[in-house]
Amino acid sequence: MTSSIDRAGSRIDHLNIAVPDLEAAVGFYEPVLVAIGITKMLEIPPNATPNQPTAMTGFGLAGVKPYFWLIDGGTVGSNMHVAFTVDSRDDVATFYEAALAAGATSLLAPAVHPEYHDDYYGAFVLDPHGINLEAVCHAA
């Protein structure tokens, strides 16, 4: 693949991930995401609206909006994968180390993955609920 493609944008406004234990998931994700600049922004209690019977916690970039949501009382889907874009290869390593310290299992240590494109640098971990998480930098 060519690395001349603009990888900066996304058409995904937000993403909800169902987890069986919201408190445990937030306990894992909060230190991992803050390591790459993503913070907990909003906690919505159960039954806040008629269409939202379970608790939710939203994470996002400071001053923007929550776009990554953890939803309580759900079942994690099979083959679930979430990748977070970071600005540097050092950020990939920071994510990886923070995830391992928070209880993740290593899948792939930080490395170049030329099967995606020449500058694809990522690290993959399995979170405590079985979700494959990644931090990726698309720059050399």
pTM of structure:
0.90
On whether residue 8 sits in a domain, the answer given is no
Residue type, 84: F
Residue 72 and residue 81: Cα distance in Å, rounded? 18
Task: Print the domain residue range for 33.
Answer: 15-73+80-137
CATH number of the domain that residue 37 is part of? 3.10.180.10
How many domains is the chain built from? 1
On whether residue 51 sits in a domain, the answer given is yes
On whether residue 130 sits in a domain, the answer given is yes
pLDDT per residue over 80-113, tens digit each? 999 999 999 999 999 999 999 999 999 999 999 9
Residue 42 and residue 131: Cα distance in Å, rounded? 22
On whether residue 40 sits in a domain, the answer given is yes
Residue 73 and residue 64: Cα distance in Å, rounded? 27
Q: For residues 34 and 64, which has the higher predicted lDDT (pLDDT)? A: 34
On whether residue 9 sits in a domain, the answer given is no
On whether residue 37 sits in a domain, the answer given is yes
On whether residue 3 sits in a domain, the answer given is no
Three-state secondary-structure class, residue 86: coil
Q: How many other CB atoms sit within 10 Å of the CB of residue 137?
A: 23
On whether residue 47 sits in a domain, the answer given is yes
Local confidence band at 11 (pLDDT 50, 70, 90 cut-offs): confident
- Tell which residue, 24, 76, 21, has the closest CA to residue 54: 21
Residue 127 carries which DSSP code?
A: -
